[in-house]
Structures are given as structure tokens and as C-alpha cells.
Structure 1
Amino acid sequence: MELDEGSNIDFRGTTFTQELLTDLLSALRHRPQEIHLSSAEFLSTVDFSGMVFQGACWFDNAVFHASVNFQGASFQSSACFLRSRVEGTASFTGAHLGDIDFSGAYFESANFSGIAQTGSLNFSEVTFNDFVTFEGSQIKAATFHKAEFGQGRFWRADFTTSPRFSEANFLNHASFEGAHFRDGADFSKARFAEVTFEDATFTGVAMFVETTFKSGNFARVTFTHSLVCNLAYATEALSFGSCTFMGHFVGPVRAQTIFMANVVFQKTVRIEAATEYLDLHRARFEAPAAFHVRHAVVEVADAHPSFPITIASHNECFTSGTTQLREDFSQGESALGKVKSVRGLDAALIVLKDIDLRQCTFEGTYHLDQISLEGRCRFSFPPQEIKWGKAWMPVRIWTLRKVLEDERAWRATAPDSALDRSGWGDSITPNGIADSQDISATYRQLRKALEDSLNEPGAADFYYGEMEMRRRDREISRSERGLLHVYWALSGYGLRASRSIGWLLSAMALTVLLMMGWGLPGASPKQEASGIIRPPGEKTTLVVDKADPALTLPFKERYSGKRLEKAGQVVLNSVVFRSSGQDLTTVGTWIEMISRFTEPILLGFAALAIRGRIKRS
């Protein structure tokens, strides 16, 4: 076949045998102006490598039953592969592409590595059944709308304008490692099995609206503008480890786990996430940040905030516009967010709102007295069951109060009897167990934080915990620990009104019994006047005397209703520091003195406890 340079080739609908194919390739060396191979059928491997297509080319609806090679070819004008089909491998390695339309095409596998592009590529609704690679390619403009990929590799690809992968479907692994999206990218409603964007750079807006993942790896990615992933959904993990966010993070997003360890946030962010685990370990915050979570266990230890960080539970399902984020959590499962540890943090910049802190350790936190605890933050409680065992006191009953995880772990291994450790769970903690002195300091700082926020009733439990740790501290002197034991036993450190009132009533009852038995005289002593009666007109002097009260009644007659009434009056007056004025025996006088000293103290403990629970600053 002989053609002049610049002529057209038209083999529409032709089935190419090997002999006819040889003629075609020979004709192409003369650089025809236009090539029409629409609906052509190629029965064997076709090699167009190094060819220069200076005019428009039509391969629409063409079928390649084997491989086709465009390696190093140059398309200087447009080309159309609309609904073409390659049942082998299509290689465009190192090709120079103009405007090419691959819409609806089918490739068993394809290689676009190292391509250079001057026009736009349209891969809308293309199927890459097995494997496709764009490794190291320079892509000026490309559309992959509704394309389907087996495996896709875009290593170090350079996208000049925003590529459109909306509604694309990646059935197996997709890799964009080291890719550069110079004008952002649109992956809205795309579906990924496993995708990797490690070391990629998005210098425009990255759109992942309603995108679904099995897992997504964005490690060390740089986002210079916003990452928009509202209503994105991952059945497994989304990893943003060591990423740099220079723009906003737009959610909400749902994933089984979200890893943001060592992330750098350079701009204010508000992240809404429904996840089982959110890792912010060693993250750096160069602007304010807010994390609104549902169901999440948040790990924020060793983070580096320069501005306030808020971690808050979101009570209702996240929505974007009128669309609700799909969550798929177990029915009835609490949506309350949980924080595991704030170790290594500057707590002055931490705000926790409606967070479950039952498993949170506070050991190693800085400026803990300045932490903000807002809303309904939950803490653990002591064992509620009555415990029996072998000890000098064989029963243990714990009053209801807020308990830190640090204390729970300490009590589970405390050097006391097995009875004291019973009910406090296991001692497994990831960062070791704090000692009683450190726990006491932690309670003291949390108490101050709540008192500074005018929540003195809420601070009362932390004061109780502080005193408990001091009472158990072996390094404190025995005399001081003895005083603390008495303070605890009589009034629960001035916080248990019922305990103080119980002791007060017991003391009053005992005092009444003692008064009836030994304090009240058998009868009121009568006054007697003695002296010499002088004749009328002379001065008479009489001396009035009163016998000492004495108890002469038989023991059985001492406990009567009348004596009970008198003893009750004596005791009630003693409670309020008043003298009853009742005649008492010597023993009764001592009983009253002791009563007037001890019982008002118990009454004061009760009043102090009630005030501590109802006071509002």
C-alpha cells in the first residue's frame, strides 16, 4: 500500500489479518493526515510504537484481540478510542498525547507510564479490568468519571489540573504514592477497596465527598488547601499519619479507625467523626482545633497544642445538609466519646465536653489544674458490691464517688489485703501504675480545676480521692495517717453527711444512756437554810446551802421515762454548746463536758458535708 505524506487512511469496519496489518503499518510511516479505523478488528498484536499521528485518529469501537503498543507514539492532534476494546495489554509508555477520548473503552490491562500530555484525556466509564499504571506521567487534564479499575497505579503522577475521579470504582488496590495534584482532585462518590496516597501532595482542594473506602492510607500527605470528605465512609481504617493540613478538614466522616498520629494542623480545623478509635498521638496543633466525635476512643497523649483543643461528644447523628451520615454501630451502643490518656499534654489548652473518662489516665499531664471539663464528663466508680474476706475488718463497703483510672489501677495492685483489691478489676495499664502520691496530686489538680470553674460540688469527689490517697500513702507519718483515718471514719473527710449524722445520733444515744445510768441524780437536792434566829429587832443571818447531787436509785429504776426526758434535754443542749442547767452527778458533769466537745464537732462535720454538696459559687 503506497500513500503520499499527508493523505488520509480509512479502514472503517475492516478486519485486519497479519498481511493487511503489515500494509497498514507501512502506510502509517508516511504520516497520513487522518486515520479512520472505527469498528476495525485486529486479530493479532499491533505495534504502533514510535508512530507519529499528526492528524485526527478514530479508533472508536475498534477491537484488539491481542495487545496493542503505542509506546513512544505521538498524537499531535485528537484521537478517539470511544468504546474501543483491548483484550490484551495496551501500552502508551512514553507517548505524547493530545486530546484523546477513551470514553466507554475496555482494557484488559494498560500502561500509561511516563506519558506527556498537551491536551485532555477522557477516561469516563472506561474499564481497566486487570491493571493500569500511570506511573511518572505528566497529566495536564484527565477525567475518570465512572471509570472502573482492577488495580490502579499512579505513582509520582503529576496532575496539572484537577483530575476528576468522581464515581470511579477501584475494585482492588489503588496507589497514588508520591502523586502531585497541583489543582486539587475530585474523588467524590468514588469507591475504593484499598487505596494509598502516601507522600502525595494536594495543592488545591481535595474532594472526597461521599467517597467509600475499605481502607485509605494518606500517610505523609500534604494538603495545602481544604480536605473535603463530608459523608465519606470507610469500613476499616483511614490513616492520616504524619500529614500536614494547611487548610480545613470538612466532615463528617465515618471509619472504623482514624489515625492522625504526628499530624500537623496549621489552620483552624473542626473534625466531625463517627469512629471506634481516633489516634491523635503526638499531633501538633498550630491553630485551634475541635473534634466532635461519636463512639470514638480518642488517644491524644503527647500531642503538642499551641492553641486550645476541644474534644466533645456529638449527641445526634452527623448530617451534611439533609443527608445523614451512615454509622452502622451496634444498636443501643453509647455514642459518648472516650479519652484514654492525656499524658504529656499541656492541659491548660484542653477542653473536654461530655466525654467518658472512665479509662483515662492523667499521670504525666502538665498544668492539669487548668484543664476544662465541661458538660457531663463521666468517671469510674468504686465497687458497688459488699465484699467479705479475711482481714481485721472482714467487710468492705465503698461509697459512691468519682474515681480516676489511675486510682483504680493502683488499688488493683495495692500492697494491702486481697480484700482491699477485690472488685477493682485488673491491673493492666499501657503506661505503668502511678503511686499514691502522684495520684493524690492528680486529684488535687483536678479538684482545683473544677473549683476554678465554680463547680465546687463536682470537685468534692476529687477532694475525697485526694484524701484517700494521702491516707494510703506509706511515706506519711503514722500520726498524720491516724488523724486521716479518724477524719475518714467520722465524716468521710467532711463529705459524708450521713456518716457524721450516724455518729452524732449514736453519740447522743450513748450519752442519754450514760446520763440515765450515772449522770442524773436520784432526786433534785433541796436547799437548806441554817443560822441563829435573833430576837425581834435584831439582824438574823441565814446560810443557804445545797447538798451535792447524789444517785441513790437502784439500777433498775434509773431507766424510766421521766429520766429519759431529762437526759434528752441535757444531750440536745450539749449538741449546740448550751448548758442544760440540770443538776448532775460528778460523773454526769464529766459526761456532759465530753458531750459538749464531741457532738458539736460531729454536727459541724455533717453541716460541712451538706454545704459541700449543695454550694454554688
Structure 2
Amino acid sequence: MSTLPAQPSAPSWPHCAYGADPATDPVGCRGVHVPGYTACLAHVSDADRDTYLAGLTPGVGIDHRGTPFTGDLLNRLLIALHDPAIRRPHLGEAVFRRAQFSSPADFGGAQFSGIARFDGVRFFGAVNFAGAQFSSAARFDSVRFSESAGFFWVQFSSRADFGGAQFFGEAGFLKTRFSGEAGFRGAQFSEAAVFDEAQFSSAAVFDGVRFSGDARFVGAQFLVTSWWGPVVCAGVLDLSGAVFGAPVTLEIAAREVRCARTRWESTATVRVRHASVDLGYAVLALPVAVAAHPAPFTTTAGGVVAEDLLAGPATVRLASVEVVDAALLVLSDTDLSDCLFSGAFHLDQIRLEGRMLFASPPTGWRRQGLRPVRWTRRRTLAEEHHWRAQAAGQPAPPAGQAPSPRRWRTGAHHPDPAHTPDPADVAALYRQLRKAFEDGKNEPGAADFYYGECEMRRHDHNGSPTTERLLLWAYWLLSGYGLRATRALGWLVTTMLVTIVLLMGFGLPVSSPKQEATGTVPPGGGKVTFTIDKQAPKNPAVNRFTSQRFDKALNITLNSVVFRSSGQDLTTAGTYIEMTSRLLEPALIASPSQSRPATRARCAVRRAWSGAADAGPGSRVRCRSSPVAGTGSAPPMAAAVRAACSCRGVWAWEASAGGRSGRGSGR
């Protein structure tokens, strides 16, 4: 029988030395002696081999360290150990350390009742352990699998060690049961690795594992694992449907991580690098945190985990939290540009910490009719992108091509309207996330989401009444829902200029009207009665637009901005122009100052008057605000709500009655 390439050093056991050559291979065959012979099982004579195999009984221990096996030799050995009672090969303690299998090795269904040692073995063909049972420890550390390795339905009743193993073909652990510790520390998988529905009843050690292809743990159960990783995966790490039964920390650097329908029975911290994470339909029993890790992971031995399998920045992108109880979810330093929030529960209670990135509207200018326009810069949700792309009839980009920043992003089901959220759905998402930003003291973020909510309500033709949408159109046009100060100030300047022009043309008289007194002296003398009349103001026939008239018109307009009467004599048209100016222009000043009107009103209703309502009748309440301030008795609840809504800026209340007192402040 032929031998395989020699290993560099002589083994510690009595070895065969078949084929030794002082010049090229002084050691020769490393196979351990067959008991009673001076050669290994591969190199004893045929008669001696037959005698040895005939003497084997099911369940006996065997030692074939360093022995080179062919497929035929392995089959003969397993046939000799076949147990008719269980209809499978039955091995006791099986030692195959540093053995070499040149052909496919089939241990399918074998039962190992003693320690199974395959450490350092080289499998040059496919390996099959499907259905095997290991009653004691199984050691596969530093094994080299050149082709596929199948461990389907295997039962490891004790510790299973695959530390440092190299899988150059596909590795399958489908429905494998690990009753003891499963150690894969430092293992390398060059092709796909499948652990679907595997059960880890004890610790699952994946410290420093590298997956060059996809890694599937669909439906796997990690019952007591407290630390998983760090692992590096160049493809998709799929934990969909997996169950984590104990508090666990996961450290993953991958291109994509799928946790769809994953069940977290306890607290969990998922630290990720490079990956797009999908949490859609996950079941959270206790808080779960997903955070971007700022630096490469380190193993328990202190070594830095290489990330050469992954290219690009280490940014973590969240793909979906659909139908997730967001009250138990914490996100930190993640990119939410493409994240889907539809169907999430308690979205207003989600915790967003660190630097959170959201999608932006399309960049650059576009033409709407004859005028150039551009989208307002703000944070937007992926659902709004999908709806706008679908509503505009925008085509999806070619497969594999990145979306253009000058267009809205299309969804996975584009352009199907049945799978695209409508404006009412998106408005609800904006409303709930706005609340989450407010609770996190992120006022700029809350303002952007208030803007997005109003945008969706403005475009909602089914849920929003026509009058409400018209008001929203006006609110958007004049001040960007109270969030775009430059737009409101631009309208203010425009209104003032129009007022000035109208006053100069129609409102200012040619001169101040003069009073005339007329009276009649009685013929016999006595008291004279005078009637004083004032001439009606008249517009000049010419020279209406002069510097003097401009100065007067400007003075009247500036006074109207602060609700003051100019005291000037005006024509009838000028009087109405001034009244209109005094109504519109202060409103344009006030609109940008109320950057979050809904937020402030709700905060006032919820907090400002809660203590005042409890204080009871006759209590003294003071509400400080800017520009409104007042003092008085505590009003009924409805009046209190109205009063609270009218307060802007900083408020404070003090109440005392019957020995009770309270104090509060806020925005």
C-alpha cells in the first residue's frame, strides 16, 4: 500500500518506519505498531492483517495513530467492529491521532463509547460522520478536512473539540447535538458552514473562528452560552430562528448578519463590525442592545482578530426591526438609512444612543415645471423613500448598482404598492420615533421627524381631511412647518415689501387732511356753534413713489410688525392695508420661533399642569413663559390645558394648598 507525504518529525510512539530512506525520509511511515506486530495496520502482511481484524469485537478499543488509511482499509476495520445488536460499527476508545485518510472516510452511524481522538488527522477526501454517536470526549482539534465534512445528526454526549480545525470544503453540522462544551476556538471554514438546528446544551466556544463563506445557524439553540465569538464571516452569518436561552454577548464581524425571528430569552449585547444587521420579527424577552464596535475584536488570548476577509468601512447598518418590540431594543452608533420600522411595537420607546445615521432626501437641484427646486435637508426614513419612489414611478436601479444620491431609494418590492407603506403608515412611524428622540433629549432629531410627520400627513389623501391638508400646505409653504426660519423670514421680507409698495401707491394721502371749522352767528348775537370737519384723505395724482413717501410707508410697516399703530393719516385703502399687515407679519415672525409646536404643546399638557391639577381649587399657580406670563388661581382642567398650550419656551409652576406643595419646570 502506498504512503502519503511524511510529516516532519518522528512520532513519540513505536512506529512502522515503512519506506524510510536516510536521504529523503529517515522516519518513514509514522503508523503505530499493530499489537503483536512490528508494522502498522497499513503495512503488515495480508495474513497478519486478516488475523488482527478477525480478533476485533464490537466495542473494543483501537489505536491506529499515524496510520495511513485508504477507503478499503477503513471499511474493513469498521466491518470488523460492526455490532449486530445496534446495526452499526461500535468502537470503544478510538485513537486516530495524526492518521491520514487518502480516500473518502465514512464513519456514518458509528458509535464511539470511549474517547475518540482524531486530533491532527488529515482527511484528503470527503468525510462522513452522519448519525455517529460519541459517548465520551471527541477531539478533532487541528484536523485538516480537504473536502466536505458531514457531521449531520451527530450526538456529542461529552466535550467536542474542533479547535484549530481547518475545513477546506463545506462543513455540515445539521441537527447536531452538543451535550457538552463545543469548542471551535480558532477554527477556519473556507466554504459554507451549516449549523442549522444544532443544539448547544453547554458552552459554545467560537473564539476567533473565521468563515470565508456563509455561516448558517438557522434554528440553532444556544441554551447556556454566555459569550459567542468573536467571529469573522466574509459572507452571511445567518442566526435566523436561533434561540439564546441565557444572557449572552455576541461579537461578530461580517458582511451581513441575519437575526430574523431570532429568540432572545434573556438580555443580549450584539457587538458588530462591517455588517448589515436584520432584526426583523425577532422576539425579545429582555433588553437587547445592538452596537457598532469601534475597533477590531480581540480573542480571549489577547490576539487581534484579523478582518482581511472584509473590505470597506466598519460601519454597522441596520436593515430591519419590523414587528419587533422596540421597547426592549437599544441601538448604538448604527446606520439606519435603509432600516425598515414598519410594524414594530412600542417604537416610541426605542433607545437610540450614540451617532445614528438616517437617510437624506435626494441631493442637488431638480426642475419642477419651469422653476428649479431642491429637497430640504433632513433625516428621513427608508419607508418614505420607498413611498416617494413608488409614487413618482421611479425605476429601480439595475441589480448590483448602488442607488443614486440624487433620487429616492426604491424598496425590495418596488414598485408593488401592496408592499409599499402609504403616507399614513409613514406618518405614524415618524410620530413614534419623534417621541423616542424627545425622550433621549435629541431635539434636532425630533424636529426632523416632526417635519417628516407633517410631510406625510400633507400627502395623505385618505386619512387627512382636505381642510387639514390645505392648512399643512400653507404651513409648509410659509415656514416649513415652523422649522425653516429662513423661509418664514423670506416671506416676512416679501410681505413687508409688498406692504410698502401698496402703501406708497394707495395708502398714503397727498397731504395730511386739514380740519375746517364752520359756524353761523345768530342775527341778534349770542353763542356761536362751530362744526369741525376733516377732509377725506386722497391719493396724489402724480409722484406717488418718492423717497419721502417710502420713508412713511417703511415706518408704518415696521410698526405693524410689532402690532403697533403708526398714528399716520391713511386713505381708506391704506387703513385696510395696515390692518392686514398687522395681522400677517407678526405671524410670520412667530412661526419660526415655534420650531416644535406639537412637542411643546404636549410637554406643557403632560407636565406643566400636572401638579397644578393636583393642587385643587384655590391653589396659587404661576406660569412663567416667553412672551406670556401670568399669575392666578388654578383653573379647571380644560382651561389648564389651554393655558399650558399657550405657554412657549420655558415654563414653571408652583402650587400649594392644604399643606401640599409642588414645583416643576421644563420645556
- Taking structure 1 as the reference length, the TM-score comes to 0.80
RMSD: 3.4
The SS at the match of 2:211 is: strand
Q: Say which is worse superposed, 279-288 or 159-168, in terms of deviation.
A: 159-168
- Check the 8 A contact 2:176/2:198 in 1, yes or no: yes
- Check the 8 A contact 1:14/1:40 in 2, yes or no: no
1:93 paired with 2:78, answer yes
- Check the 8 A contact 1:310/1:352 in 2, yes or no: yes
Match of residue 56 from structure 1: none
Q: Which amino acid aligns with 2:509?
A: P
Match of residue 188 from structure 2: 212
- 1:525 and 1:493 map into 2 onto residues whose CA distance is 45
- 2:147 and 2:107 map into 1 onto residues whose CA distance is 16
- 2:456 and 2:55 map into 1 onto residues whose CA distance is 77
Per-residue CA deviations over 1:151-192 (Å, capped at 9, x if unaligned) read 222223222333222221111111112222222222111111
- Check the 8 A contact 1:72/1:93 in 2, yes or no: no
- Check the 8 A contact 2:276/2:316 in 1, yes or no: yes
Q: Which amino acid aligns with 1:115?
A: H
- 2:141 and 2:503 map into 1 onto residues whose CA distance is 92
- 1:533 and 1:13 map into 2 onto residues whose CA distance is 155
Match of residue 63 from structure 1: none
Q: Which amino acid aligns with 2:467?
A: S
Per-residue CA deviations over 1:491-545 (Å, capped at 9, x if unaligned) read 11111111111111110111111122222223334556666999xxx99987766
Q: Say which is worse superposed, 433-442 or 154-163, in terms of deviation.
A: 154-163
Q: Which amino acid aligns with 1:140?
A: G
- 1:132 and 1:13 map into 2 onto residues whose CA distance is 24
Q: Which amino acid aligns with 1:73?
A: L
Q: By how many angstroms is 1:222 displaced?
A: 0.8
The SS at the match of 2:139 is: coil
Find the partner of 1:354 among 310, 325, 333. Answer: 333
Return closer, same or farther for 1:465/1:81 CA change in 2, 3 Å cut-off. Answer: closer
Find the partner of 2:554 among 568, 571, 594. Answer: 568
Q: By how many angstroms is 1:288 displaced?
A: 1.3
- Check the 8 A contact 1:95/1:115 in 2, yes or no: no
Find the partner of 1:494 among 462, 477, 482. Answer: 482
1:160 paired with 2:135, answer yes
Find the partner of 1:584 among 570, 573, 576. Answer: 570
> Which structure 2 segments of 5+ residues have no match?
1-15, 20-33, 396-405, 601-648, 651-665
Aligned residues: 544
Q: By how many angstroms is 1:578 displaced?
A: 1.3
1:326 paired with 2:306, answer yes
Q: By how many angstroms is 1:123 displaced?
A: 2.6
Q: By how many angstroms is 1:295 displaced?
A: 1.5
Return closer, same or farther for 1:533/1:127 CA change in 2, 3 Å cut-off. Answer: farther
Per-residue CA deviations over 1:234-258 (Å, capped at 9, x if unaligned) read 1001111111111224211011211
The SS at the match of 2:246 is: coil
- Taking structure 2 as the reference length, the TM-score comes to 0.74
- Check the 8 A contact 1:218/1:240 in 2, yes or no: yes
Find the partner of 2:161 among 186, 197, 218. Answer: 186
Q: By how many angstroms is 1:426 displaced?
A: 3.8
- Check the 8 A contact 1:387/1:395 in 2, yes or no: yes
> Which structure 1 segments of 5+ residues have no match?
1-11, 16-32, 54-69, 98-111
Match of residue 8 from structure 2: none
Q: By how many angstroms is 1:261 displaced?
A: 1.2
Match of residue 279 from structure 2: 300
Match of residue 246 from structure 1: 223
1:272 paired with 2:251, answer yes
Q: By how many angstroms is 1:489 displaced?
A: 0.7
- 2:54 and 2:424 map into 1 onto residues whose CA distance is 73
The SS at the match of 1:373 is: strand
- 2:366 and 2:91 map into 1 onto residues whose CA distance is 77
Match of residue 138 from structure 1: 112
Match of residue 267 from structure 2: 288
**How much identity, in percent, do the aligned residues show?**
36
- Matches for 1:315-464 after TM superposition, within 5 Å: 315-320=294-299, 321-328=301-308, 333-388=312-367, 391=369, 395-414=372-391, 423-426=407-410, 428-429=412-413, 432-464=419-451
- Check the 8 A contact 1:94/1:115 in 2, yes or no: no
Find the partner of 1:593 among 579, 598, 603. Answer: 579
- Check the 8 A contact 1:436/1:472 in 2, yes or no: yes
Q: Say which is worse superposed, 85-94 or 493-502, in terms of deviation.
A: 85-94
- 1:359 and 1:13 map into 2 onto residues whose CA distance is 64
Q: Which amino acid aligns with 2:222?
A: F
- 1:447 and 1:13 map into 2 onto residues whose CA distance is 77
- Check the 8 A contact 1:247/1:266 in 2, yes or no: yes
- 1:604 and 1:485 map into 2 onto residues whose CA distance is 18
Q: By how many angstroms is 1:144 displaced?
A: 2.4
Return closer, same or farther for 1:450/1:41 CA change in 2, 3 Å cut-off. Answer: closer
Q: Which amino acid aligns with 1:132?
A: A
- Check the 8 A contact 1:271/1:292 in 2, yes or no: yes
Per-residue CA deviations over 1:87-113 (Å, capped at 9, x if unaligned) read 55233226569xxxxxxxxxxxxxx96
